Structure 1
Amino acid sequence: MPTRGQALFIAYLIFINVVLCAVGFNSADPSAWYTSNHLEILTYVSNRAGILSFANIPLLVLYSSRNNILLWLTNWSHSTFLLLHRWIAAICVIEACLHSAIYLHIYSAQGEHSSESQRAYWYWGIVATLAMVLIVPGSMLQVRRRFYEFFLAWHVIFFLLAMVGCCLHIYYRYDFQWGYENWIYMALAIWGFERGMRILRFARHGIRTAQVSIVDDEYIKLEIPGIAADGDVYLYFPTLTWRVWENHPFSVMTDVCQGTDTGLSTTRITTDKDRLPISWTEKGESLDKMSLAEISNAPCQRGLVFYIRTQSGITKYLRGTKSKFPVLVESSYHPVVLSKPNPSGMTNIIAIAGGVGVTALAPILMRHEGWHRLFWAVRSKPLADSVAASLGADRFNRLNAVVFQDNRMDISRILQEEVSRCVGTEVAVIVSGPARMADEVRLVVATLMRENPAVKLTLLEESFSW
C-alpha cells in the first residue's frame, strides 16, 4: 500500500498526463487537412497521447534504475521509485494503446484501414504497442515473487523490442524529421548508463568465493569473506546458471564474525504472558537457561553474511549446490534508513523486523549510540540462533532484541507501550519485513502521531516488495 506522500505523487502523475492529453487543441474551420472538426480533434488527441507515451519512457527507465541520480537528489527510497516506475509504466502503456486505438478508429471510419495498415510504420507501431502491453502480465506481483528470473528476462526482451518498434515506427512515418526518436535515445542512454554502472560496481571487487551453509528447510546462510559493504548488494552466481547476467538483491549484515561455528547459539524468546525476554542457549539436544554474557565471542574477520529464504528461483540452486562457489558482488546500495542524515544519531529507535528483515536493521542498531530496541518476529528458531551466533554475544546484546517465535507479535501494543516511554523525545520507528507487517506498522504509527503530539515520531520503511 503506498504511503500518503507516494499516493499524492502518483495522483499528480495521473492528473498531469490526463490534463496534457486533453487541453491546448485549436480547431481550424475550414481545414485543409481534416474533413471535420471531430476528426481533427481526435487526431490531435491521438498524436498528443503518442508523444506523451514517448516522453514517459525515459522517466520510467530512470525510475527503475538502482543507479538513479534521483535517489541521491531526493533521498527517496529505491522501493519508492520502483512503485513510481510501475505507475508511470502503466500510464505509458495506456497512452500508447490510446494512440493506437484512436488511429485505428479514424482510418476504419474513413475506409482507409486496409491500405494504411500495409505500410511499414503501421505494423511497427503495432509491434511497439503489443510489446508494451505484453510486459504488463509478466510484471505482476506474484510473477515477480515466484518467477523472478522469468520476470527479468521477459521485461528486458519486450522492452528492447518496444524500443526498436518505436524507433522504426517514427522512421517510417516521419523519417526522423520531428525529433520524436530523441525520447527513445534518452531512454536507451539511461538504460546503458545503468548497465555500465553495474559492471563498474561489481568489477571493483573481482571474483569472490561464497560459502553456503544450511540453516533449516527454509533458510540458508551465505558468507563472503574478505569484503566490506553496507546496505543492499546484488549478487551474481555465474556458475549456477547459464544466465550469467542475472542478479538478486540482498541485505548485508556488516562487520560480522566469520569464525568457526561452535554449535552454541542464543535467542531471546517471549512468553505468552508477557514480553520480558528469556535468554536460552541450545547445544545438541539439551536446552538450558543461561546469560548471554556467558557466551564467548569468536574472533572477527571482515566479511559479508546474508540470510536467504530459498524459493523457486536461483535461490533454490543455492541450497543444492556445493558449499563453495564463485560470486560477483555489486555494491553498495544504501537503503533509505542508511541514507537519512545521521540515522544512527536519532535519540531513540524502535525497530520491527520480520524474518530475514533483521539483516537490514542489525547494522543500524549496532552502531546506534542512543536507546533502541528490536522486536523480531521469526518462526524459525534455527534462523534466530544462526543470526545470534553470526553477530556474536556482544553484538547481539547491542541489538536489545526481543524475539517473537511461537506467539504473534502484537505490533499495536508494542508501539503504544514503547512510544509512551519516550514522551518529549524523538523516536524513529524502523520496519523491515513483509508488506503486511509494514502496512500495519504504518497505520499504528499514524495513529500514535495523532494521539502523542509530545513525541516526535518518524517512520522509516525498508520494503520487501519489488
Structure 2
Amino acid sequence: MQRSFLFAAVALLLSPWAGMEVAAAGKATSDCGNACSLALIYTNFEGGSTKQNRYVQQCTNNLAITSVYACMESFCSPAEIDVGMNALNEQCDEIAGKSLPSYDSIIKGINLNELQHLSYANHTRPVKGPVVPTLDLYQAAFNTMHASTDQQNHDGIYSYAMSGFWAVVILFGMCYRLVAFFTHPKPKTTQGTGDVESHDEKRKIRWHQKITKLVNKHVVLPAAFGNHHQEPLGWFMVPTRIQGLFIVAFVAVNIALVACNYEIFAQNLYWPKKSLQIWRYLADRTGYLCFGNLPLVWLFASRNNVLLWLTGWSFPTYNMFHRWVARVATAEAVIHGVCYTAYALDVGGSQALKKDYHKLYWQMGVVAVVCFGLLMGFSLLPLRQKCYEFFLVSHIVLALISLVALFYHVAIFDGEYDPYLWSCVAVWCLDRFLRLARVVIINFKALVLQDSPARCYYSEEADMIYLELEPSFHLKPSAGAFYYIYFPTWWGRWESHPFTLSSWSYGNQQSFLDRLPRENSFSKDDKKGALVSESPASPPDSVKLTPVSSPNDRLKLTFLIRPCDGVTKHLRKTISKTPNKLKNFRVLVEGPYGQAEHLNGYERVLYVAGGSGITAITSSMLSLANRAETKGIKCPVPKYLHIVWAARQSGLLREVFETQLYPLMCRLAAADAGVTITVELFHTQGNAETPVPVANVNEHPAMTVRQVVGEQPNIPEIVREDATDARDNMAIFICGPGRIADVTRSAACEAQMLTAARVDFFEEAFAW
C-alpha cells in the first residue's frame, strides 16, 4: 500500500499532465462529439458555401448538423452526448452567434439505418442529404484530434521545459554556493605555530580531499577543452568544463525535444500525407521551443539579474549562457521557418508559398528570423572587439525589432503566445529601470547640480588613464566590484564600459591621484574648476599611513583605464591636448556590480596580474589592509601574500607600485598582522640595458620586492612552488589578459594534487 502511494506521488510530481489524467478519470469528455464534428468537417453538404468557414457550416447547415448528431448517436454514450453538445453549442455561440437545435428533436426525426454511410475514402465528396460516418472515418477523426491535441500539449510542456532545465542548473549553483559558504576557510585567530599540524601531516591527502581535488581539477576549474577560456579560440570563447557540461546538456535537451514524441499515421484528416505531418509538427515544435528560450535570452543578458546573487556566478558566466541559448533559439527559429516553407510547398507548390508570403504574420516571421541571424553575425567576437559601439547599438535595435515582429507574427493566435514575449519585455524594462535608478541615485550631483566632475590624468609613459570620481550616493566599496562608466561621445550619446574598481578613499585619506608625483598632481580650483598643480605626494620611502576614515566621509573611487579603440581612445586624445595631461570630465557611473572575493580566511594568497589587471589586486589588498587596521587579530589577513605582476610599460609598473602597491604593503606591515609580502615585477618589454622600473624600495623584514626585466613570469612554476609551500589553504587570484589568465587556470588545476592544502582559484574577468 505504501509502495503504491509512493509510486503515485512520484508519478504526479514528474508528469505535468498526470494531474489532468487523474482528474478526468471516470468523467465523460467532449472528445466523442468533437471527433464527430471533425469527421464531417471536410464534407461538402448541399446548401453550404465553399467560402464559408467549415465550422460555421456545422452551426448553420441543417444537413451538417443532422449528420453530426447521427454520428454522436452512433458512437457516443449519453453522458458523452451531453458534454459534447455543450461544447458544440459554446463553439457555435462564439463563431456563428447562434445555438444549435435540440439534439432530441433532430434525432427523433431520422432513422440511422436509412442514412447513407460516409467512409474515410470518400469523406470529402459532396452530399445531398444527411450522412453518418463509418467506423473507420470516425476512428480516423478521433485519432487525428487526439494526435493534434497531444502535439499541442507536448509543445507547450516542452517550451516550459527550457525554464525547468535552467531552474535545475540554478538550483545546482545555489547548492554549490551554499556548500562553498559553509566550507570557506575560516580566519585563524591563534598566533604562533604551536597549534598547527606538522608539515608532513599536512602533506598527506586524505581520501575525501582527493575526491574534491579531482573534481576541481577535471570538472570545475579547467577549460572545456584545451587551455583556452579567457583567450578566444578563433572567433569563439570556450567555456569552462562545468559550463560546457551545462551547455552540452542544454543543446542535447533541445535536440531531444525537437526529435521525439510525434504520432505520424496515414489516415490523418488534417494532413493526409505523412510528409505534411512531419513538416507541420517540426515547425510547431521548434516554434514553441524558440519562444520558450526567448525569456532566458533576455534574462541572462541583464545586468541586474537576481540569478547572479543566488548562484554567485559572474556576469561573464551568464553572458556565456546567454549566447548559447540565443544560438539554440536562432537555430530553432530557422528550422521553424524552413519547415513551414516546405509545408507550404508540399501543400500547393510555389503558388501556395507565394500566397503565404503576402500574409502579415508570415512577413513578420521572416523579419524576426532575419533579425536573429543578424544578431548572431554582429555578435561575432572580432566585431565585438573592433566595433563595440556598433555591436551594442545594433544588438539593442535588432532585438527590439525582432520582439515587435514576433508580436505581429503570433497575433493571429489571440494572445496565446504573448506571455513568452511579455516576459522578455518585463525583464528588459525592469533591468533598464534598475540601471537608470542606479545612475540617477549615484550621480545625483552630476545630473542635477552639474557638480562633481571626474578628475582624469593620462600617463604617456604608462599608456594609462587614471580616473577619479566622487559619487553622490554610495554603497560600501568592496574588492572585486566593477562599475559601468558613461562617457559623453562626440556624437551626443552617452556610452558605457565596465571597469574594475582599483582603489577608494574617504575624507582625509590620500587618493591615488593625490599620491602622483608633482607634475601629475592636480586639484579642482574652487572658482573655475581648473586643474592646478599641488605639492607632490610623499615618495615611497616615506609613505604616510593615513588611518581609515569614517564611511560617512566623501568617497572617492579610482579607476585605471587602458585606452583602446572608440571612446577611450577619444578620451586619451582629448586629455593629451591639455596642459600636464590633466582634465576634468563630466562622467556618470553605474554600479557596483560583481561579487566580492573574501580572501582573509586563506593562509596564502597568490596574486597574478597582467597589465591593467593590477586594479583587481590593488582593490583586494586595500580591503585586506582596511580589515587588518580595523579588526586586527580578531579577523587576521593571510600570512603570505605573493604578487606577480607583468606589464609592458615600465611607467605603469612604477606609478602603480609607488602610489598604490607600496603604500598598501606598508599599511599591512604597520598593522602588525603578521603578513609576509613578496612582490615580483616583470617588465616584459625591457632588455639587459633597461633599468628596473622601481629605483628605490625600502627594505622591510616583512616585504620583498624582486624586479625582472625582459622576461615573462613562469606562472606554472610559481604556482607549483607556492602550492608546495602551502600548509593550510591557498587562494590563486588572477586578473589579466586572456593568455596569462588561461595559463594560471591550467596551473591551478595541476596544483590541486601537489598538496593536501585546499587550493581555490579566483578569476577577475569581464567578457563582452
Q: Which TM-score tier does this pair reach, normalised by the shorter chain?
A: 0.7 to 0.9
Q: 1:254-273 counterparts in 2 under 5 A?
A: 254-256=503-505, 257-258=510-511, 259=514, 261-263=516-518
2:497 is the counterpart of 1:248: yes
1:216 to 2:460 alignment: yes
Of 400, 403, 406, the match for 1:166? 406
Determine which structure has more spread, i.e. the larger CA radius of gyration. 2
Q: Secondary structure at the match of 1:375?
A: strand
What is the distance in 2 between the residues matched to 1:81 and 1:364?
Answer: 24
Q: Deviations for 1:266-291, whole angstroms, at most 9, x for unmatched residues?
A: xxxxxxxxxxxxxxxxxxxxxxxxx9
Q: Which residue of 2 aligns with 1:238?
A: 488
Letter paired with 2:394 = W
Tell me if 1:330 matches 2:575.
no
1:395 pairs with one of 645, 664, 667: 664
Which of 87-96 and 344-353 deviates more? 344-353
1:281-302 C-alpha deviation (Å, 9 max, x unpaired): xxxxxxxxxx954445689974
Kept after mapping to 2: 8 A contact 1:354/1:378: yes
Separation of aligned partners in 2, 1:363 and 1:121: 54
Partner of 1:83: 320
Measure, in 2, the Cα distance between the counterparts of 1:401 and 1:163. 52
Amino acid at match of 2:725: R
Aligned match of 1:458:
760
List aligned pairs for 1:16-415, cutoff 5 A: 16-110=253-347, 111=349, 112-171=352-411, 173-176=412-415, 179-206=416-443, 207=446, 208-216=452-460, 218-225=463-470, 229-230=477-478, 231-238=481-488, 240-244=490-494, 246-256=495-505, 257-258=510-511, 259=514, 261-263=516-518, 292-296=540-544, 302-321=555-574, 323-335=583-595, 338=596, 340=597, 342-368=598-624, 369-370=637-638, 371-391=640-660, 393-397=662-666, 398=668, 400-406=678-684, 407-415=711-719
Deviations 1:130-176 (A, max 9, x none): 001001121111221221111110100100011011110001x4232
Letter of the aligned partner of 1:360 in structure 2? Answer: A
What is the rounded CA distance, in whole Å, between the counterparts of 1:226 and 1:57 in structure 2?
36
Q: Tell me if structure 1 keeps the 8 A contact 2:372–2:402.
A: yes
Assess if the C-alpha contact under 8 Å between 1:167 and 1:181 holds in 2: yes
Gaps of at least 5 residues in structure 2 are 1-228, 230-238, 447-451, 521-538, 549-553, 576-582, 625-636, 669-676, 685-710
Q: Contact (CA 8 Å) 1:344, 1:364: kept in 2 or not?
A: no
Q: Distance in 1 between matches of 2:491 and 2:661?
A: 34
TM-score normalized by structure 1? 0.87
Compare the two structures and name the one with the higher strand fraction: 1
Contact map agreement 1:365 1:372 (CA 8 A) in 2 = no
Summarize deviations over 1:233-290 as a string: whole Å, max 9, x none.
001123654122x21100012335322533599xxxxxxxxxxxxxxxxxxxxxxxxx
Shift in Å at residue 34 of structure 1?
A: 0.4
User: Identity percentage over the alignment?
Assistant: 29
**Does the 8 Å CA contact 1:104/1:113 hold for their aligned counterparts?**
yes
Distance 1:242 1:344, change over 3 A: farther
Q: Give the equivalent residue in structure 2 for 1:277.
A: none
| Stretches of structure 1 lacking an aligned partner (at least 5 in a row) | 266-290
Deviations 1:295-347 (A, max 9, x none): 45689974111111111111112112351121111111124xx1x5x343333
**Partners of 1:109 and 1:389 in 2: how far apart?**
75
Return the offset for 1:56: 0.8
Cα 1:420–1:64 shift into 2, 3 Å: same
CA RMSD between the two structures:
2.3
Alignment length (residue pairs): 431
Counterpart-to-counterpart distance in 1, 2:519 and 2:603: 34
Q: Assess if the C-alpha contact under 8 Å between 2:621 and 2:664 holds in 1.
A: no
TM-score normalised to the size of structure 2?
0.54
Q: CA deviation at 1:400?
A: 4.3
- Provide the rounded CA distance (Å) in 2 between the counterparts of 1:212 and 1:33: 70
**Which structure has more RCO (C-alpha within 8 Å, separation ≥ 6)?**
1
Q: Deviations over 1:94-127 (max 9, x none)?
A: 1111101111112123312111111111110000
